[in-house]
Amino acid sequence: MKGIPMLDLYAEYLYMKDDIDNAIKKCLEHQKWILGPEVVEFERKLSKYFEVRNCIGVSSGTDALLLAIRALAIKKKGDEFWNTDDLVITTPFTFTATGDTIIRAGAMPLFVDIDPSTYNIDSKKIIRAIEEYRDKVVGIVPVHLYGLPCNMDEIMEIAKKFNVFVVEDTAQAFGSKWSNKKVGTIGDIGALSFFPSKNLGSFGDAGAVITNDDEISELVRMLRVHGGRDKYNVDYLGYKARLDTIQAAILLVKLKYIDEFNEKRRKIVQIYNESLKNIEEIVLPSIVDGHVYHQYTIRILDGRRDALKKHLSEKGIDSMVYYPLPLQKMKVFEGRSKIFEELKESEKASREVLSIPIEPLMKEEEVCKVIEAIKEFFK
């Protein structure tokens, strides 16, 4: 049997090949590469999928976060950028972009530790952090890590009480739900990524901003194209951060399959959960309704995470550590961020987590091969 990759994007392409080939061919024929008809159509379909008033296609998940946080500075503060006295609470156990976009929007990240059972930011610690820093906190950027929804009831209650914004980093959680509401639609703004490996992935970089706030939507649309309603008469320091027509065309096809694919992920999870539950040295992902399992991430308790990774690799099975370094340990955040209390859980998680293959089109025999290899290691 061939090796088992984390994902098999070529198999996914073959699954919908005719549709994708036709969609690309249409673009070749109309040649409307910049904000072409597919972008408009994708924004419309995505608004419908999320049941939100506005969707703006942008060039990546990183840009979705950046434009969202910049638009909030303009709306809430009347300034183009936040400043370093403005603190934005987020998790350190995430991809760099969650933290660096806060800095690039002018503000300072305030890292608050995670709940070890979900790997998401700990709401109780958010409250304590806001109480300590009081008026300085202007917003919260929760991340639905691995596709597991954050407790948005608690986060929105805190945001309301302290009058701070919420930008949901929904990069890893397309279609994930909290209390039957799709994540990304609960806070002021949702930032989506269509990086190729995401649950809904394009064939390059792409992202989107979703919001029910029309003023924010208008500002994000401006920031996406240099910062003006008219690109020859500009108001704000903007970006060139449009969603490509060809990516929108591909995403329109893949959107039709996303719920089916998320369901396929859940079926694989059932097999993993059932087969791995008796291994004492590992902790399985928490079972939470609405989870879309962007990653299936286990925790290895006996200190042998890297040895397990090596063992799997020798068997031809890929695995990944998301993330080996929490953000507070990176040079880029030195002197540009604050830390609330200790971030022990994030540090511990970064030493113990391992994500194993979860490709929606994985065959059962491949899932079993991964399971056998893990069982053999702990025998």
Ligand X SMILES: Cc1ncc(COP(=O)(O)O)c(C=O)c1O
Of the residues 36, 201, 207, 360, which one makes contact with ligand X according to CB under 6 A: 207
If binding is defined by CB under 6 A, does position 295 make contact with ligand X?
A: no
Of the residues 143, 200, 222, 250, which one makes contact with ligand X according to CB under 6 A: 143
Least distance (Å) between residue 301 CB and ligand X: 25
Partners of 341 in the β-ladder: none
Least distance (Å) between residue 64 CB and ligand X: 7
| Distance separating alpha carbons of residues 128 and 112, to the nearest angstrom | 10
If binding is defined by CB under 6 A, does position 243 make contact with ligand X?
A: no
Looking at beta carbons only, is 94 or 346 nearer to ligand X? Answer: 94
Least distance (Å) between residue 308 CB and ligand X: 23
Choose the binding region for ligand X from 6-14, 38-46, 73-81, 169-177 (rule: CB under 6 A): 169-177
Looking at beta carbons only, is 138 or 143 nearer to ligand X? Answer: 143
* Greatest Cα-to-Cα distance within the chain, rounded to the nearest angstrom: 68
Choose the binding region for ligand X from 24-32, 121-129, 168-176, 353-361 (rule: CB under 6 A): 168-176
Query: One symbol per residue from 93 to 132: x for binding ligand X (CB under 6 A), - otherwise; what is it?
Result: -xx-xx----------------------------------
Tally the residues of the chain: 379
Rounded to 10 degrees, what is the CA torsion of 95, 99, 103, 106? 120
| Distance separating alpha carbons of residues 131 and 148, to the nearest angstrom | 27
Q: Which 302-361 residues touch ligand X, going by CB under 6 A?
A: none
Of the residues 54, 91, 185, 193, which one makes contact with ligand X according to CB under 6 A: 193
Of the residues 171, 209, 225, 276, which one makes contact with ligand X according to CB under 6 A: 171
Of the residues 47, 54, 172, 185, which one makes contact with ligand X according to CB under 6 A: 172
Number of residues engaging ligand X in binding (CB under 6 A)? 15
Answer for the pair 320, 6: CB distance below 8 angstroms, yes or no: yes
Looking at beta carbons only, is 193 or 337 nearer to ligand X? Answer: 193
If binding is defined by CB under 6 A, does position 195 make contact with ligand X?
A: yes
Answer for the pair 43, 209: CB distance below 8 angstroms, yes or no: no
Looking at beta carbons only, is 207 or 238 nearer to ligand X? Answer: 207
Least distance (Å) between residue 21 CB and ligand X: 24
Query: One symbol per residue from 55 to 74: x for binding ligand X (CB under 6 A), - otherwise; what is it?
Result: -----xxx------------
Interface residues toward ligand X, by CB under 6 A: 60-62, 94-95, 97-98, 143, 169, 171-172, 193, 195, 205, 207
